[in-house]
């Protein structure tokens, strides 16, 4: 598998206090499912947002498809961003618009402002949006307003919107943090199948260690802005989980009945 994304010594300083990220280096292969785990405030969200420059990294190199993302100016950055889809915890949909309209918004990065403002989409774009919605099990809800959907359905609309961009990489920031276990499993199954059937890489911030273990090819553990673990799930021992989470590890309730219940709900 070829390398799709490579970070080298990426740091982020928001203000004069501590660094939010410190010398972050890792690679993501094409079609890989990679999870980022770590305690609150570790820098997971900052890390994800540096990759598409929603947050400006302070130092280091980010190469996507062999291009140095950190140096791109407006037009080139816009073009590079079409290759990187983003999925949010709170979906970021336009609630009063229909499912299909929200999904087509994913095409805006390819259009000039006028075509975008007038909602001009090609037949091919509309067909592709419908196809993706069918794949995600939303074929019967194309014209429903998004404020009438469940959380799990909204998240599938968010994923569809990212997929119509035809990205090489999906960045998912806590995509199941607001969902019940059943909806979470549906979302994680779809994300996993996107890597295997579409060859798209998925890089996902997760609060749930179980989900990371069950779904990932590679897990990256972050603590205080540094990578403290990078390996396959089978290498993520209890000791290493404790190392990643530090004092928060106790809150994870490892090996409690709740955890086992969560695991059953999320098992593939
Ligand atoms: P996580 O996603 O792991 O919870 P974040 O990336 O949100 O962590 O935060 C990492 C650190 O950066 C925290 O100390 C947080 O307070 C700080 N931080 C995040 N966003 C900003 C911001 N916009 N301005 C200043 N500090 C921020």
Tokens 């673990």 correspond to 229
DSSP three-state, residue 90: coil
pLDDT tens digits, residue range 93-125?
A: 999 999 999 999 999 888 877 777 777 899 999
Q: Does 56 sit in the ligand 1 pocket, CB within 6 Å? A: no
- Torsion angle, CA of 196/40/12/31, rounded to 10 degrees? 0
Residue 189 lies in a domain: yes
pTM of the model: 0.91
- Residue 257 has what pLDDT? 39
Asked which of 110, 138, 165 is the last residue of a domain, the reply is: 165
Boundaries of domain holding 231: 3-83+167-267
How many contiguous H segments (helices) and E segments (strands) does the chain have?
Answer: 10, 10
Ligand 1 centroid distance, CA of 10 (Å): 15
CA distance 84 to 74: 15
Following CA atoms 212, 201, 181, 39 in sequence, which dihedral angle do they give, to the nearest 10 degrees?
40
Is the CB of 177 within 6 Å of ligand 1? no
The whole-number pLDDT of residue 114 equals 75
Name residues of the chain where pLDDT drops below 50: 253, 255-268
Tell me the three state secondary structure of residue 32: coil
CATH number at residue 54: 3.40.50.300
Q: How far is the CA of 46 from the centre of ligand 1 (A)?
A: 6
| CA 226–ligand 1 middle distance (angstroms) | 13
Q: What's the domain count of the chain?
A: 2
Same domain, residue pair 35 and 160: no
Measured CA to CA, the distance from residue 49 to residue 34 in angstroms comes to 15
| 13, 46, 224: residue to mutate for ligand 1 pocket, most atoms within 8 A of CB | 46
- Tens of pLDDT, residue by residue over 119-172, are 789 999 999 999 999 999 999 999 999 999 999 999 999 999 999 999 999 999
Whether residue 69 is contained in a domain is answered as: yes
Domain termination residue (choose one: 165, 182, 205):
165
Q: Which residue do the tokens 């999906």 mark?
A: 170
pLDDT of residue 252: 60
- Tell whether 91 is covered by a domain: no
């Amino acid at each position: 598998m070829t390398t799709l994304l490579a970070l080298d010594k990426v740091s982020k300083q928001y203000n004069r206090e501590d660094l939010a990220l410190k010398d972050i280096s890792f690679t993501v292969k094409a079609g890989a499912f990679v999870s980022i785990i770590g305690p609150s405030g570790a820098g997971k969200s900052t890390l994800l947002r540096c990759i598409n420059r929603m947050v400006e990294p302070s130092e280091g190199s980010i190469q996507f498809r062999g291009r140095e993302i950190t140096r791109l100016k407006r037009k080139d950055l816009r073009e590079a961003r079409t290759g990187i889809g983003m999925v949010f915890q709170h979906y970021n949909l336009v609630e009063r618009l229909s499912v299909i309209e929200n999904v087509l918004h994913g095409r805006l990065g390819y259009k000039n402002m006028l075509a975008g403002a007038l909602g001009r989409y090609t037949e091919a774009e509309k067909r592709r949006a419908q196809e993706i919605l069918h794949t995600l099990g939303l074929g019967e809800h194309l014209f429903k307003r998004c404020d009438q959907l469940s959380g799990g359905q909204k998240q599938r609309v968010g994923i569809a919107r990212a997929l119509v961009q035809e990205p090489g990489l999906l960045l998912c920031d806590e995509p199941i943090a607001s969902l019940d276990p059943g909806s979470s499993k549906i979302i994680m199954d779809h994300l996993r199948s996107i890597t295997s059937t579409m060859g798209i890489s998925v890089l996902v911030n997760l609060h749930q260690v179980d989900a990371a273990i069950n779904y990932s090819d590679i897990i990256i553990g972050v603590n205080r802005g540094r990578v403290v673990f990078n390996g396959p799930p089978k290498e993520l021992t209890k000791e290493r989980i404790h190392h990643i989470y530090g004092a928060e590890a106790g809150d994870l309730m490892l090996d409690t009945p709740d955890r086992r219940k969560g695991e059953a709900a999320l098992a593939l």
